[in-house]
Structure 1
């Protein structure tokens, strides 16, 4: 556990979810700035094309953006004409999201909410979407159960993620990458999250497909080429590890 001693590990495991929430609270301001820049980047155009190709064939969708952060996906989907609900465990992220949508057209509602315990009735949404959320959940199987529970019959789950914990100490990022702006404390906390979560040891997305198969009622598929389509330049947004899509349709 590079740069993290065993005493630190035992201390942080006392309340894993609070530790993760504290990490993202600390990063919320610079994270919001990055997402604001992403809204004006060529990544926005690529994400728009990517997501539009995966959406259910319906003119106006009711969408849940899980772990929405400061609202990048929420804004993109609302501007496509859909009704969006964005949730995040971190209240500071939601505060930044509210500021981000002040001059945005479209219907977006933000709520502070746990991705593993949704405060919604069953079969409320046509689409549940997440980006870079599952890797830092203490109970990801519970999250998948909740996400599929709130999907309507025929609804679609789009979960974009990557195995960020695998070989993270060996990764060499571009000089201008956002993660190179982390403080030493933030970097150590991020690495600690990798070590404290069981999902870091799973082979993904095979693990995700197995979990969804166990839940049942979901027709699944994976796409391993998402990162190649979206992150073509080695810039501040660049993701070195391959991003994948876990897609499910409720049957």
Structure 2
């Protein structure tokens, strides 16, 4: 099993619990907070075509479809995509979901007004290839919002009182092992990401160091005690 297959297998295994968590979050104050943050950095007052990369079971996708945007969610995990499609049917949503590699998109050049991603790039074997693809499918003056954390030196544990407390320790150990095998875990982030986007020719790159205070509004949905940075890129 190569690293991509191993990553896909891991998230397939996590998909049921992950889906329950994201459905809970869609009903929580966090959803309103996330939308408010996105609206500050993407012109959501206009109908947009948006790509949600590493959609999981559809959190960003469903959040934005509610407001009239045409959103496509992609994920490398077939089980995540299946959950997302079931959720779309239950919500009577216009969202569409495809199984796709974030580093090898099948969309035409300049297809999307915005590309969004949450907690994905730390899991990628080749994030530079992903960033290259995201810029390729983005329209001129389009916006990328990438939310992630610098997990490189983190060892995942069952932290009581937080949402990952119920995850089997074997799965957490596998997550740590996969993370430690990836080159991105050796980089200092988001400084590395900023330099890559500039190298790839982005017009403007800015960063917010930590958005947790903006988006974590539900005490029952506390994640890891690590900063969540936001990188905003304009093509």
The TM-score by the shorter chain falls in which range? over 0.9
* 1:228-243 matched pairs, under 5 angstroms: 228-232=213-217, 235-243=220-228
- 8 Å Cα contact 1:56-1:126 kept in structure 2: no
Structure 2 Cα separation of the partners of residues 105 and 88 of structure 1? 20
| Deviations 1:109-151 (CA, angstroms, capped at 9, x unpaired) | 1000000000011100000000000000000000000001000
Structure 1 Cα separation of the partners of residues 217 and 228 of structure 2? 12
Runs of 4+ in 1 over 6 A off after TM superposition: none
Mean Cα deviation higher: 146-155 or 232-241 = 232-241
Structure 1 portions without partners, runs of 5+: 1-13
- 8 Å Cα contact 2:29-2:217 kept in structure 1: no
In structure 1, the partner of 2:171 is 186
- The count of residues paired between Structure 1 and Structure 2 equals 235
Structure 1 Cα separation of the partners of residues 191 and 168 of structure 2? 33
In structure 2, the partner of 1:17 is 4
Q: Compute the displacement of 1:57 (Å).
A: 6.0
Q: Compute the displacement of 1:233 (Å).
A: 5.5
Structure 2 portions without partners, runs of 5+: none
Alignment equivalent of 1:91, drawn from 78, 89, 94: 78
Normalising by structure 1, we get a TM-score of 0.89
Q: Compute the displacement of 1:178 (Å).
A: 2.4
Q: Secondary structure at the match of 2:72?
A: strand
In structure 2, the partner of 1:32 is 19
| Deviations 1:189-214 (CA, angstroms, capped at 9, x unpaired) | 11112210011111111100100011
Normalising by structure 2, we get a TM-score of 0.94
Structure 2 Cα separation of the partners of residues 234 and 164 of structure 1? 22
